[in-house]
Amino acid sequence: MKALVWHGTADIRCDTVPDPTIEDGRDAIIKVTSCAICGSDLHLYDHFMPGMKSGDIMGHETMGEVVEVGRENKSLKVGDRIVVPFTIICGQCEQCRRGNFSVCERTNRNKALAETAFGHTTAGLFGYTHLTGGYAGGQAEYLRVPFADATHIKVPGGIPDEKLLFLSDIFPTGWQAAVQCDIQPDDTVAIWGCGPVGQMAIRSAILLGARRVIAIDRVPERLTMARAGGAETINLDEESNVVARLNDMTDGKGPEKCIDSVGMEAHATSSLDAIYDRAKQAVMLESDRPHVLRQMIMACRPAGVLSIPGVYGGLIDKVPFGAAMNKGLTFRMGQTHVNRWSDDLLRRIEEGQIDPSFVITHTVGLEQGPEMYRTFRDKQDGCIKVMIRP
């Protein structure tokens, strides 16, 4: 089959690789009908996340049709149409029973690596380094789904892939980011980053009743899409002091809730602290660039909430933790517990409350995948979200 394969920094190729096979009775094999390139994939593309090996198949936003089922899998049958969440879950461990699916205790087959890096293991993830199990990803013609009897989201026919695909990651990720804010009707929610997750967070915050949403980015087409979703915007190319601007917009009080949809690759030249981060990252004295995190801590109203769906991988420096403590801020973060939200979000799509396909700007075949990684990374050609049809 054809698949997008990691060969090193900024080196993704469309290769011919062996077809996946059933390895466990709970498995299923799907023929991929649609997949996508996620902003998190760019952390692998530029090799900011450790644990990638040459030959790894990329991708964790995938859906398709079941073509083979393991003998112990009683939940699926050939011909079922499913969305595959990026988090692999067993559905049986203590964390899964609590709904904490992204920290499933059983699905990371390299859990010793995760325990070394994080103290405890987290769930296995598709196409996302050997720290999270080294599972093949779904930017391919076929995908093996481990623990498929628990991991899948079964979806009905009659709704196009474009509306359903993002149940795999960015829609529940934006939704969880907003839910974690405990949004109240008089809240102002500030969202850093207007990429795909930021766009979903904007619409989720509004669906959940936020009085105002202020979105912060520097890419014109992203800001235009944010305004179309109901947000006020701050253009980083026109505003040198985001904290002061947010104070101006909120009568000096700051937003009650702040969402970091940027994570480890905050823009490297926007301020002195951002330049400092990039320099330390280059000599491996810091793994992530926490520029947005610093801004959120300073901007947030005392007793507010910081929600962090943006991916961080390791160690950060010069975070004003004293400000966070003295202001009484609450931090909520983590990979997304996709299956916790999927029933509700599928219902909202079916009822027409939201159509997540609004975020797609490019639809291509697998062969164009390597080119689209570059286009997406470099924010060229108005690219906000890439959908791939293998």
For 159-200, the pLDDT digits (tens) are 999 999 999 999 999 999 999 999 999 999 999 999 999 999
DSSP class per residue in 308-322 = E-S---S------HH
pLDDT confidence band for 269 (50 / 70 / 90): low
Tell me which residue of 313, 312, 309, 351 sits closest to 332, measured CA to CA.
Answer: 309
> Percent of the chain, pLDDT > 70?
99
Amino acid at 213: V
HEC sequence for 224-265? HHHHHCCCEEEECCCCCCHHHHHHHHCCCCCCCEEEECCCCE
Please tell me the distance from the alpha carbon of residue 76 to that of residue 79, in angstroms, as a whole number.
Answer: 9
268 pLDDT above the threshold of 80:
no
Specify the pLDDT at position 345: 98
How far, in Å, are 5, 191, 255 from residue 211 at the CA level? 44, 14, 11
CB 384 within 8 A of CB 222: yes
* Cβ neighbour number for residue 184 with a 10 Å cutoff: 12
328 vs 32: CA distance, rounded Å: 46
Residue linked to tokens 């104070």: 247
| Calpha distance 137→282 (Å, rounded) | 28
User: Averaged over 315-338, what is the pLDDT?
Assistant: 96
Q: Three-class SS of residue 35?
A: strand
Query: Based on the number of CB atoms within 10 Å of its own CB, is 282 exposed (0-12), middle (13-18) or buried (19 or more)?
Result: exposed
Q: Which two tokens stand for residue 77?
A: 């049958």
**Average pLDDT of the chain to the nearest whole number:** 96
272 versus 9: the higher-pLDDT residue is 9
**Entry pTM:** 0.96
Q: Which residues pair with 84 in a beta bridge?
A: 62
Q: What is the mean pLDDT of residues 22-50?
A: 95
Give the list of residues 6+ apart from residue 117 with CB closer than 8 angstroms, or none.
50, 131, 314
Residues near 213 by Cβ (< 8 Å), separated by ≥ 6? 188, 189, 190, 191, 202, 205, 206, 230, 231, 232
Contact 13, 7 (CB under 8 A): yes
- Angle, helices 242-249 vs 291-299, to 10°: value is 30
